[in-house]
Chain A
Amino acid sequence: MEVVIAICDDLVEERANLARMIQTYSQERDLPIQLCFFSSGEELLDAFHRSQQFHIVFLDIYMPNCSGMEVARQIRAAHDDTAIVFATTSQDHGRDSFDVQASDYLLKPFRQEDVSQALDWCLEHIPESVRCLSVYSEWEQRELPLSTIQYIDVYGHRSRIHTTQSVLVVRRGLDDLEVSIQSPDFLRCHRSFLLNMNYVDSLEGNAFRMSDGTLIPISPSQTAQIRNQFIDWTYIKAWQQK
């Protein structure tokens, strides 16, 4: 998986210095990365508004116009759980950094070791919204973001992955895919169906109505348990977004 990292700092030499450290990390770990540079908070927010996705954002705090802390607040207000690492000279925003659930707080001048530790942590804790499922389909290896998978159903001895863009047939069983996905957003509602609850429109009797109109059955022997699991998930989601 290629890790997409944004660096947002108004000083060009600071951006270059941080990029060097990230590249050293990437070479040491043999990890493909893509770096994107932003010289202001507004530029970075524009990229977010254009639905550009980053796994990690390194963010300076003192920048003209929009401060890094304000940018972080706006990112979180849009319910984006990208990992944020502050890279700053400011010692005054430690408490605020927890409010925006930052992954780390690096004080300038920082060392290679500090950057590596921050990246290690972020990569171990990749948020649900940017996690991917690795599958082999149509003679190629693909990385499917979990957030694009609507549901998966059994198709003979294979499985069909219904994403927002297409339907992929893979030679893997549903149990195996469920283990690989291991996400609280996914629900095994039937022996032959695994669905992403983010795409459920409503509960209709003994079935889930998906946002694309498909009706997915609930296992008759587990109706109450599955309905309660779904109801709990909706409450938890609502609490987390409050």
Chain B
Amino acid sequence: MEKTRLVIHMHDTEERSRLFQILSAWMELYCAPMELVTEPSLPIQPPVILFWDLDSGTLPPRFPPDSSHALFVCAADHQAAIHSYPFHPNGFLQKPICMDQVEAALKRCIPLWWNALERLEILSGRVRTQVPFCNVTQIEGTRKGCLVHSSLQTFSVREPLYSLESRLPPRIFVRCQRSFVVNLFHIQKLSRQSAFLSDGTEIPLGRCQKDAVWEAYQQFRLLREGQLQL
């Protein structure tokens, strides 16, 4: 299967580099490496997720009615959204574009980037399973190995925590105490004592890890807000 590309068609250089930065950060956050193109050659071939600036004066392409593409139109004026309907875009992004808009937009075309997600391969119950990194909420060390908690289920694996940890992307995972590694993506709130996850779990921070967790979380927040140079 051909790999999906992210394509930006935007004449305004400032806005283009801003969107480039946000999309690069999004790929880091979701561990979904994809080819990111800013000066596409026409016609644009699917599979593609295309961001098209309506203010550049050119009209977006009309794609065949299938699921091999997603079109997001961008403009400074919100009324441009209504006039873009003949092209049936998957979404409208009002400039200046921010990470929240991009995240919401990309959630509308999940099947297009799902295969690009990097995964944690584990052996659980004699079956080799691949869980997308972005779905792993935390990993808990136990006497017999680890419990890999994901947003929907928990997998019991025999591998020790340090071994699993070595296979995790360090930008979004951090060891927060001797037997816990958490995904910064799933931290809802961080206090000096604990990390509160989106599923309601509270994980106390280890004395030696506190500063490292806070530092990693600050870096993560900057990345999430598109302010970290990659």
Seen from chain A, the residues whose Cβ lies within 8 Å of a Cβ on chain B are 91-92, 94-95, 97-99, 101, 103-105, 107, 117, 121, 124-125, 184, 205, 223-224, 227-228, 231-232, 234-236, 238-240, 242
Contacts and interface: CB of A to CB of B under 8 A. Distances in A.
B11 to A, nearest CB: 22
Given A232-B114, A234-B152, A236-B114, A227 B127 contact: yes
Contact of B85 (A105, A124, A234): A105
Q: When A and B form their complex, which 6 residue pairs have the shortest distance between CB atoms, in order from nearest?
A: A94-B81, A94-B82, A98-B92, A95-B78, A95-B81, A105-B82
Contact of A125 (B65, B78, B80): B65
B110 A239 contact: yes
B167 interface: no
Interface of B: 65, 78-83, 85-86, 88-89, 91-92, 94, 104, 107-108, 110-111, 114, 125, 127-132, 135, 150-153
A3 to B, nearest CB: 17
Given A227-B127, A231-B131, 9 more contacts: A94-B80, A184-B111, A205-B125, A223-B127, A224-B127, A235-B151, A235-B152, A236-B110, A238-B151
Contacts, number: 64
Contacts of A91: 79, 82
Contacts of A121: 88
Contacts of B104: 99
B81 to A, nearest CB: 3
A239 to B, nearest CB: 5
Which of A92, A97, A121, A239 has most chain B Cβ within 10 Å? Answer: A239
Contacts of B92: 94-95, 98
B155 to A, nearest CB: 10
Contacts of B153: 231
A104 B86 CA distance: 8
A227 B128 CA distance: 9
A87 B227 CA distance: 40
Which of A95, A184, A236, A238 has most chain B Cβ within 10 Å? Answer: A95
A98 B91 contact: yes
18 contacts: A94-B79, A94-B92, A95-B78, A95-B81, A95-B94, A97-B82, A98-B81, A98-B89, A101-B108, A103-B88, A104-B85, A105-B81, A125-B65, A228-B130, A232-B114, A235-B135, A236-B111, A238-B151
Contacts of A235: 132, 135, 150-152
Contacts of B129: 224, 227-228, 231
A127 to B, nearest CB: 13
A116 to B, nearest CB: 13
A92 B86 CA distance: 18
Contacts of B80: 94
A104 B94 CA distance: 18
Contacts of B83: 94
A124 B81 contact: no
Contact of B81 (A97, A101, A242): A97
A231 B132 CA distance: 10
Nearest to B135: A235
Contacts of A227: 127, 129
Contact of B82 (A107, A184, A223): A107
Contacts of B135: 235
Contacts of A105: 81-82, 85
Contacts of B131: 231
